Amino acid sequence: MLTPDVARSVIDHGLSLGADFAELFIERQLRSNVSTLASTVESVQSGIEFGIGLRLVFGTKVLYGYTNRPSGDELKRMASELAAKDRRDPRTSAVAFDYRHPETIHSQQKILSDDPQIDDKIRFLLSASEAAKATNEAISQTRGNNLQREQQITIFNSEGLHIEDTRHYVRSVITAIASDGQNQASGSKDMGGLLGWELAEQVDAAELGQEAGRQAMVNLTAKPCPSGTMPVVMGNGFGGVIFHEACGHLLETTSVAKKASVFHDQMGEMIANEKVSAVDDGTLSDAWGSINIDDEGMPTQRTQLIKNGRLTSFLADRLGSEKTGYARTGSGRRESYRYAPASRMRNTFIEAGTDRFEDMIASIDRGIYASHMGGGSVTPGTGEFNFAVREGYYIENGKIQYPVKGATLISTGPKVLREISMVSDNLSLACGMCGSVSGAIPTTVGQPTLKVDSILVGGNA
Amino acid sequence: MTQQSVAERLLNWAKDAGAEADLIVNESRSLSLKALNGALEEHNANSALTLGLRVVHENRVGTAYSEATDEDALRFMLDQALMNARYSEARPEEQIAPVSALEKAPPEDLNPEDETEIETRIQFAIELESRLAGKERIRNVPYNGVSDVIRSREVYSTQGAAVMQSERMQYAYAMPLAADGDDTAMQAAMQAGRHFGDLDLDALIDLAYRRSTELLGAGPVATGHYDVLFDANVQAQLFQAFSQMWSGKWAQDGINPFRDRLGKTVFDDRLTIVDRPRVTDGLAYAAFDAEGVPTQETQLVKQGCLTTLIHNTATGRHFGVSSTGHAARTAKTSLNVGLHQLFVLPGPDSEADLSADTYLVISKLDGLHSGINPVSGEFSCGASGALYRDGERVQMVRGITVAGNLYKMLNQVRAVGDSVRWDDQKQSCMAPIRFMELAVSGA
């Protein structure tokens, strides 16, 4: 890693070039990946990543560089090269480091650096695959994957911050392929969290596989989805991707500061149906999107984004806070040392309501029940988003009729937030990876089952 | 120490441990600049090196990677790879194969000297942002940038592979936010080349401006079935998203729907599809694959007939054929297969055939990372573009979805154009294909 004395000299050098703020982000990450195919081990991989990111801020301009070499001289050379066009008399002096190591509330029992537990992971994946295969003779193939990683970070900055943390991530996914000789369809189920491999003790591998197999079979027999604007009931858990795409990205100061968010000037205003309250919470124990500190060293927090339909907070990192005037929320995140931090989501979800699932279905003459969602994306400046339905059903005359396939949902954030008319009480969370300006990071999405009165369903019927 | 001497050391240790091995070295150096409000907002300068080792020991394969090159790190990486191999199934078909030497080194002009001063690049970035932002109906340009990337890829093995390709790429892009009252629109434009001089500032500004502003006032067409042409970028993205249809690895795994269709007519007979790694106009040029096997032109589909899948040495051995030079592996991943530069060759149909009657031209598909299923061929994505009638634009279109099954669509073709076009990233070069009667959801 890098000693505090070397870090001190690099930060002093950055400030001597005239920077207002200097920061070093040092990362060492272990990874272990186990993949299975049917009843065999497909591959076992591991790796070590190491690098240092240097950020210098001149006003609101960011200079960023990274290197794999833990050398003070190399970092100073990089700083001088980056600042060559911005060099000026020093504006500030560094504050002495105050070392901190945050307490963690997350489980850290079976961690990667102690034992990668490869035998146990193989057993788990093969057990899940076997259960998936056993769901139906039409299941023609199964895949399993487990990724565990251990990310050690150290952050130094010119304001005296010296903080270290270690994050333990684990995630498993099972995919089943069903085939009837003419067509193929797939289903999948995953689990993950900010904890060690003890996660496996909380989950039944067979249930994971059975769920993947069940979904593949539903999709194999599904009919083409009808098209058009109609009401949609969105299932809980990963259904929360709707809020993530339709609203969450638009509340990040990364887009707010540039006025590239449709919500940039709507703080305090009603932006959603009053049944909608939403939170971005980095403090949930063992949750996939949780952190102890963000990637700028600030303790994480629970941030109420929307309360009863009213916009109450943005997600702000250091620079976003400086540019917008909104307080930092511990949301500065990055994939690795290769990225400068930006404001990003953590565990983001719509809070539970009081409506009943049965009433939602019964209220629809013609619509879709999207029980499981896939991923999506958004254009922040216009709020236009899309996301895929991984498992869906056609609703007619207040009853679920038959499974449908090949559906996508599109709308705009401001519109869909107002169209959420019913919110149930079955809140659940699901793991996802979110890609944006500072790379791909673990985020949790979540929601209770909810009803959107009107959204464009793209099908292939 | 050079990367070659690091590789020799590491591979000798692997042999001492009774294993065969190959090593991939990925190295990159990049500069990227972004502007906001007429000034430079971000200036990034980076360098990175990753080594990826694959060992085969007693017919078992293990991989490991490292971003450090000191002796301890190299030893640890080897130990990890050997340990990982012990957990793997015996897989006799995956070996470190002897490879033929390259007939000639990759051309040097893939990585041209470029003496462009940093001030010139900064000025380009600032002008791109500020000139666009100053145009009528442009609110701001939140996403923009100029990059200079140099990267090298090296493959070494205990079976004699020692090959290197170094290349340089210049990129510029802008995504302005156009606004007319409450109506807003954003669409990106980009350019790519080997030389900074390949980037044309005026053309990029014009393209980004036109793409974003012409969507103002656009709306959905009526729900129904429409003939669809995808523009060069979207058609390339669609083929890329479904590239597993050529995969020998997916065939070996039993999930490629075309695994039993070799030699059969699978697509419209106007379609001939070829992978051409050695065309130097493209930015995905590859002289060799991830096993060091020299690449070659590979005909995938001839007049609608599936002629081959793509293979590395392991999938090739599984099916009793030779590698087609399509091994794909980065330093951090295990062995797979992948295309290089995909060409859809010119068909028989004229511009008039392509543009007869009513059809949609789709210039953006949203959600290709999530709204597709390569196992079944189905996709359903948000889309924007324009409605045409007899070659004349009737209206700009947004707020629609387009859905279909690419594997079936390639048999439901109205016309295959008689000329080809590169996509903006110069990764593939294709004749335009007019697909029949795709499901469109709109008003």
Q: Which of A81, A99, A75 is nearest to A11 (CA)?
A: A75
Q: Which of B354, B332, B337 is nearest to B419 (CA)?
A: B354
Q: Which of A44, A84, A381 sits opposite B88 (nearest CB)?
A: A44
Nearest CA in chain A to B86: A44
Nearest CA in chain B to A407: B380
What are the structure tokens assigned to B91, written together? 């897989």
Q: Looking up tokens 């530069």, which residue turns up?
A: B341
**CA–CA separation, B65 and B399 (whole Å):** 44
Report the Cα–Cα distance between both ends of chain A, in Å, rounded: 57
A376 lies within 8 A of chain B by CB: yes
A458 Cβ contact list (under 8 Å, min separation 6): A225, A227, A407, A408, A409, A410, B380, B381, B382, B400, B401, B402, B403, B439, B441
Q: Which of A446, A408, A438 is nearest to A331 (CA)?
A: A438
From first to last of its 461 residues, what are the pLDDT tens digits of chain A?
A: 789 999 999 999 999 999 999 999 999 999 999 999 999 999 999 999 999 999 999 998 999 999 998 899 999 999 999 998 888 999 888 889 999 999 888 989 999 999 999 999 999 999 999 999 999 999 999 999 999 999 999 999 999 999 999 999 999 999 999 999 888 899 999 999 999 999 999 999 999 999 999 999 999 999 999 999 999 999 999 999 989 988 999 999 999 999 889 899 999 999 999 999 999 999 999 999 999 999 999 999 999 999 999 999 999 999 999 999 999 999 999 999 999 999 999 999 999 999 999 999 999 999 999 999 988 888 878 889 888 899 999 999 999 999 999 889 999 989 999 999 999 999 999 999 999 999 999 999 999 999 999 999 998 87
pLDDT single digits (tens) B12-49? 999 999 999 999 999 999 999 999 999 999 999 999 99
Q: Do B382 and A43 touch (CB under 8 A)?
A: no
Task: Please state the length of chain A.
Answer: 461
Instruction: Work out the mean pLDDT of chain B and round it to a whole number.
Output: 95
What are the structure tokens assigned to A293, written together? 């500190």
Say whether pLDDT at B1 is over 70: no
A40 lies within 8 A of chain B by CB: yes
What are the structure tokens assigned to B147, written together? 């990059």
Residues A237-254: b if buried by 16+ CB within 10 A, e if exposed: bbbbbbbbbbbbbbbbbb
Sign, Cα dihedral of A442, A444, A445, A449: positive
What CATH superfamily classification does B3-213 receive? PmbA/TldD superfamily (3.30.2290.10)
Name the A residues in 215-244 with CB < 8 Å from any B CB: 224-225, 227-229
Sign, Cα dihedral of B229, B231, B236, B241: negative
Task: Please state the length of chain B.
Answer: 443
**CA–CA separation, B199 and B40 (whole Å):** 19
Name the A residues in 382-401 with CB < 8 Å from any B CB: 382, 384-388
Average the pLDDT over B321-334 and give the result.
96
Q: Which of B67, B255, B399 sits opposite A141 (nearest CB)?
A: B255
Are B337 and B205 contacting, i.e. CB atoms less than 8 angstroms apart? no
Q: Which of B45, B49, B143 sits opposite A78 (nearest CB)?
A: B45
**Residue B386, φ and ψ in degrees, nearest 5:** -150, 150
**CA–CA separation, A263 and A250 (whole Å):** 6
Q: Looking up tokens 């890829």, which residue turns up?
A: B153
Could you give the percent of chain A with pLDDT greater than 90? 86
Map out the domains of chain A as residue ranges.
228-458
**Residue A72, φ and ψ in degrees, nearest 5:** -60, -40
Give A388's contacts in chain B (Cβ within 8 Å). 367, 370-372, 380
**CA–CA separation, B64 and A422 (whole Å):** 50
Whole-angstrom CA distances from B406 to A229, B27, B243, B255, B401 are 24, 36, 11, 16, 15
Name the A residues in 264-323 with CB < 8 Å from any B CB: none
Map out the domains of chain B as residue ranges.
3-213, 224-239+347-441
What torsion do the CA atoms of B205, B206, B210, B212 make, to the nearest 10 degrees? 0
What are the structure tokens assigned to B150, written together? 């140099």
Q: What angle do CA A255, A258, A262 make, to 5 degrees?
A: 60
Give the CA radius of gyration of chain B.
24
